[in-house]
Amino acid sequence: MSSFTSADLAHIEAQLSATDELLDRNYPGDDGSRQPIHTVYVPADRFTPTFVADWGSQALATAEAHGGLEKLGQLLGQEPELAAAVASRVAAKLSAEPIEDLRLDFEDGYGDRGDEAEDADAVAAANAVAAAVAAGTAPPFIGIRFKCFEAPTRARGLRTLDLFVSTLAAAGELPAGLILTLPKVTTVAQVQAMDFAVSRLEQVLGLPAGRLRFEVQVETPQLIIGADGTSPVAQLAHVVPGRISALHYGTYDYSASLGISAEYQSMEHPVADFAKEVMQLAVAGTGIRLSDGSTNIIPVGDAVEDAWKLHGRLVRRSLENGYYQGWDLHAAQLPSRFSASYAFYREGLPAAALRLRNYVERTEGGVMDEPATARALAGFVLRGVQCGAVGTDEVKALAGVELSQLTALAHPRLAQPTSH
């Protein structure tokens, strides 16, 4: 016998209907697609269909010139056996897919070259991307960063966005991994304006509604704490639900805007950690991904090994803090990016796989994991597989699950039937 009548239950259902709708619409969780482990930024006019392969060759050559990838791993603190396993996988990665995500930059990395030059470069960039996609030489994710929506550059940014997307659409179907990046966002209104802009492009170009998603770069303190004391970044996912794909932290613009002197601007400065923690809270459960920023200490000249150690440490720190993506600015950063990332996943694989096996097989062990932790364990292993650090054969041997089961464990909502 229940203390609650059918009328009571109906009352509670009515009370919570708005909550149910909010959770379903605004907190769908991760969509299960692959997230790149890095984004490479390059001035837009430098991109050619061979750009990715060229960077891979340069990265391998730099590693070989400084003792090889195994020595790099040991430089980053890897034990000899791990360094050897990582090195072989990094070599294969740099040969086959040295860049996972590429952004052709029309903003800071490009500057103001006048409207005529930028118009021509926007069209040329789109044609070069289309050619690379057709030739199979484009990375899995590719797009542009155009100028911000502040008054002095707003019209220029919109024109470049239009020219690039329209030219790319005219060349054929848009790349599956097309990404658009809106920089230096300070207000919710700028993101709403971007939502309007891409919606109009979809209408004009005959694209499906929602096809053009975009990233938001968090480079200003006003996006973390607004003039009214609230956090604008926490509102973004909810004012344009489903439209934002990621938030990217901008190390140097953000630090400089807070008066941090150039010598101390860093991905690991306390002001950076605070901003990134707010970003994590803002997008939790929304399906919006996160990316850390970059280091401008480049492995060139006499400073290669020191720069690699710094970059490797920062990459590892980001991964440990739940930031699974970051920026790279130079081909010589690719070896340390992949070496540090692969070591992170390979070091954690045995313990994570064992806990997953125990969870799946309901075996009692030293740790009794709940479904949420199992999702995190599966998500960790799946990321390792997707970036090339871990093989599906290893996952099968250690965890006893196939890739499809691993994906379902990491993203259980995707395996659930849709209710109507």
Tell me the pLDDT tens digit for each residue of 248-298: 999 999 999 999 999 999 999 999 999 999 999 999 999 999 999 999 999
Write out the residue range of the structural domain in which residue 254 sits: 38-342
Looking at residue 367, its pLDDT comes to 57
Within a domain: 78: yes
Within a domain: 312: yes
Tokens at 68, concatenated = 């090889």
Task: Please choose, from the candidates 234, 149, 151, 255, the residue with its C-alpha nearest in 3D space to the C-alpha of residue 195.
Answer: 149
| 23 alpha carbon, distance to own chain's centre | 23
Within a domain: 183: yes
Question: Whole-prediction pTM value?
Answer: 0.93
Within a domain: 320: yes
Please state, in angstroms and rounded to a whole number, the distance separating the CA atoms of residues 41 and 102: 6
Within a domain: 68: yes
Integer-rounded Cα Rg, in Å, for the chain is: 23
Read off the CATH number of the domain in which 56 is found: 3.20.20.60
Tokens at 353, concatenated = 């796989």
Domains in the chain, number: 1
Please state, in angstroms and rounded to a whole number, the distance separating the CA atoms of residues 143 and 138: 11
Within a domain: 334: yes
Parallel/antiparallel/unpaired status of strands 178-182 and 214-218: parallel
Tell me the three state secondary structure of residue 2: coil
Mean predicted lDDT score pLDDT of the chain = 95
Within a domain: 221: yes
Question: pLDDT tens track of the chain, all 420 residues?
Answer: 789 999 999 999 999 999 999 999 899 999 989 999 999 999 999 999 999 999 999 999 999 999 999 999 999 999 999 999 999 999 999 999 999 999 999 999 999 999 999 999 999 999 999 999 999 999 999 999 999 999 999 999 999 999 999 999 999 999 999 999 999 999 999 999 999 999 999 999 999 999 999 999 999 999 999 999 999 999 999 999 999 999 999 999 999 999 999 999 999 999 999 999 999 999 999 999 999 999 999 999 999 999 999 999 999 999 999 999 999 999 999 999 999 999 999 999 999 999 999 998 886 655 556 888 889 999 999 999 999 999 999 999 999 999 999 999 998 877 655 443
Q: Which residues of 74-105 are buried (b: 16+ CB within 10 A; e: fewer)?
A: bbbebeeebbebbbebbbebbeebbbbbbbbb
Within a domain: 418: no
How many other CB atoms sit within 10 Å of the CB of residue 243? 20
